[in-house]
Each structure stands twice: as structure tokens, then as C-alpha cells.
Structure 1
Amino acid sequence: MSTDSGAGDEDAAITLYRLHGCPYCERIVRRLERYGIPYRSRFVAGEHSRRDAVAREAGTRSVPVVVDHERGVTMPESSRILEYLERTYGDGGPTERSDSDGMELIEFPPAEHPTVGETAPEFTRPLVSAAYWEDTSLSTLVEREGPVLLVFYPLNWGGKSVYWWGEIRDRSWHEDLTVVGVGIGQPFDHQRFIERHGLENALYSDPGNGVAERYGVVHDLDGMTGVSEPRPATFLIGPERTIDHVWIADEWPPSPPYDEIESNWK
């Protein structure tokens, strides 16, 4: 039902701006095809700076974006798009709880986490860059670098983590503030991950997942007793370690609201 960018049915009801290999875009493709909705694909470049067409259309350089020409609706963010398609073209009921690979979506329980206006819990862990690592406290980092975005993320080499960090890298968040990941990888594993994916930010090494526990974002892995990883989450931390914004994933795989997170410093 789809045509490639620049070709095919110009009168299709839906235009889908998408990126090759993007799992969130594939979720939208599966839903469009399930409902038999004619759509036209517009593939965007990997670099955000080259996504002028979708930026003009939707005011964002992130994908997926759906444009419903018949209804005059432009919709970013995969979770919002799925809800819109279900409400408009489906049976109006809850969206199917599966991801682009047909895997069941896992809903996380409510998290008891620090909230906006509270002081971010202090911690010290090895802070890993491409060149070296050293023990660094959060308070030292905030005092030295200014606002810090803590990004809690799951295992380094999982597909969702790779895509998430690629999106953060391509959005150049590191140019506006200090972006620091928190994951359970050992320092040498973090270093390989940074080098392999060309990340511009450092990663805290927290193999025991203790920092995630302090922030209330621990996710116990199914079938692996005593093993946990962070639930995907972001905490924007300002002067005096005051929390200015929080996003916590409520399901896996997550759909981070990049534009919402970014709007807090843009």
C-alpha cells in the first residue's frame, strides 16, 4: 500500500515521514497496512540537519510523522500516531498492545521517583567518555557543567538503546546542555559503546543499578532473578541539583517524547 519517496500515488490519504531501520516508524507501517489505509512513504535522511521537508510540514525533525491530508491532521510521535489511527480508522477501542516485531508491550508499574522541584539524589559513579573514565559525583558535574540531562537506559547493545542514543546524538542535545547516560554496563563496555556509535556524551557506569534504585526507575528483568536494569527515563537537573523536568517510560518498548523533553531547554 506504500510508495517510496517522490514516487507513486500523490493522492494517498496518508503521508508517512519515516527513516530506514527506525523501529517506531515500522510500528506505524504495520498499523497502516493492517487497516488497509493507502499511504505514501517519504524517507528522511539520517542526519536531523537534512530533514527540512518534515520540519516544514510538522515543525519537528523527528520521525515518524503522519500527515492525514483528508482530515488536515499532522501528527508526530509514534504513540500519538497509533492512538490517532485507531481512533480514526480502527474500531475506536484500545490500540493493540504489540510493537513493530509483534512482541507484546509490557506495561511498567507506577514508579515512585523524584519529581519536579525536588533535589536530585546525589551519587558518585565512574563517568565514562571515549578517552577515559573517573569517579564523578552528580553535584560536581552540575557545578562544573551547568544543567545536566540524566538519561537512564537499558542494556548498551539492545536495538532500542542503539536507536534511542542515535536519536539523541542526531538531535545534537549535547550542544545545548550536558547529556549523561546512566546504565549498568562496565566502564570498558560503555567506552566501546560510545566509540561504536559516535556518541558525544559520557555515560555513568552503574553495574549494580543502585543509581536507578535511588531514582525509582529499576526494572527487574524477567527470568533473571536478582538482575535488573534502569527503566528508560530522563531527569533534567538544574542549579543546586533541582529537578526541572522528568519523563519516565510507562511501557516497554518505550516511545520517548523527544520534542517534549527538548522543549525544556530550547
Structure 2
Amino acid sequence: MYRGVKKAFKKVFKSRGLTLLLPIVVIGCAAPAAYNADTGKVAIRPASSSLIQQGAVVFENYKRTRPISRDPSARAKVNRVANRLKPVINLPGARWEFEVFKDPSANAFALPGGKVGVNTGLLKIAQTDGQLAAVVAHEMAHVTSNHAQSRLQRNQTIALGGALLGAVLSGDENSQKFGQWAHKGGEIAFGLTFSRSQELEADRIGTLFMARAGYDPVEAITFWERMGASQENRTPELLSTHPVSKTRIQKLREFLPTARSQRR
């Protein structure tokens, strides 16, 4: 959608002699990669205090409105994995909190500040601690890389463009469409999908985290293969936000030696 909006912005702004305003709208706030392939180092990027606060509010609301699993085995498994991963991740300001939700959909999520949710449906696919660690470490990598901030900045850019165009195109036949874009762009980043590059980055960093916690990163490949196989009958919710592809699994295979070199 973003490319389409950008193209439309260019066409309309140029047609109205407003090219000087174009950079304000189309330039996003791109962040450098959190993983440096040359040095092998992972950059930790704490979220802003306001974003951390929003994450906490969203998580508390989620816990109030969604059923929480009381299954002792499920909770023990998630806590076991979380307790091994937390010590290897030094994220300033983070207050890691993990919760298990009674939800049949195979999904997991993480919010700024270190709030992580795991659905019981995911545990049916992540059968071992290592496979679960692959998913949880991946979600934690989104947090340490501050990917939510990047999403929010991009959406705010789209919202700003929509607002400006709404003013410029008042009465124009396209004003309704741009208004819809502005509304969509104004929504908070939580719940929206990450970009492909962010997903691949979280894959790489996540495998490093799980390796440092003592898990074999090959479990990440096993998990995504199992997740991909589950597409034969239905499409788990996790796949809508974390698409499985041959390229993704191949990237994990290529990165495996690097990740294994950091296993403790």
C-alpha cells in the first residue's frame, strides 16, 4: 500500500505545483539494520518511554479482555524458555513479562518494553522448548530492534501525507481515498505487520539470542518447516504476520553456522 500512496503523492503534488512539499510526505524514518553482518554484533535499541508506556497499556488491556491459560504445563513451558532467554538480552528499560493466552490460533506477539504473549495454539506446533524458543526469541528481537517505532513512524508519515493531501484536494474525487489512507496511517503500530526486512532481521537476531541461551538454532528451521506444513489444511494466524517462504527458511539455513558459533 505504501508504494501506491507514494506514487499517488508524487502525481498529485506535481500536478498542483507542490513538489517542494513532497519530501515531507514521502520520506520515511528508516532505521539502520540492528544486526551488523560484518561485525556480528547486535544493536540494542530501546523504545521511547512513551512507546513503552503504550505497550504496557495495550498488554494490560489484552490481559483483561482475553482469556488467560491456566494450563500448568503450558505456562511452565513458556516460563522455562523465557527464563533462559532473558539473561542473554540486555535491553535498558525493559520489564520483560510473558503471558499465555487461551487461544487456538498459532500466534505470538511482543510489545515495546518487553511484553510478550504466546497463544496456546502455538504450543501445538512448537512441540519442543527449542522450537518455542525460536518464536519467542524472534519476538524479543522485534523489541530489541525497536521495530514498532519504525512502523509507527512510517504510519505517521502516511497520515501526514493524507492530511496534507486532504487539505489540498478538498472537493476532489480522490479526497475520500486519501482520507482513508490518513485514517489508516494514524492507527498505532501495534498489530500491524512488520516489513519483510524486519522479519528477516528478527529471524537472524532471534537465532543468535536462542543460541546464546543454549538452544540449537536449527530448531528455528524445524519450527518454520512445521508451520509451513500446517498451511496444507489451514492458514494459522501467525502466517498472516510472519509469512513462511522457501526464501525465509533458506536464509535461516545460510545463517545457521553463524548462529551456532555463538551457542553457549
Q: Taking structure 2 as the reference length, what is the TM-score of the superposition?
A: 0.24
Give the structure with the higher percent helix. 2
Query: TM-score with structure 1 length normalisation?
Result: 0.24
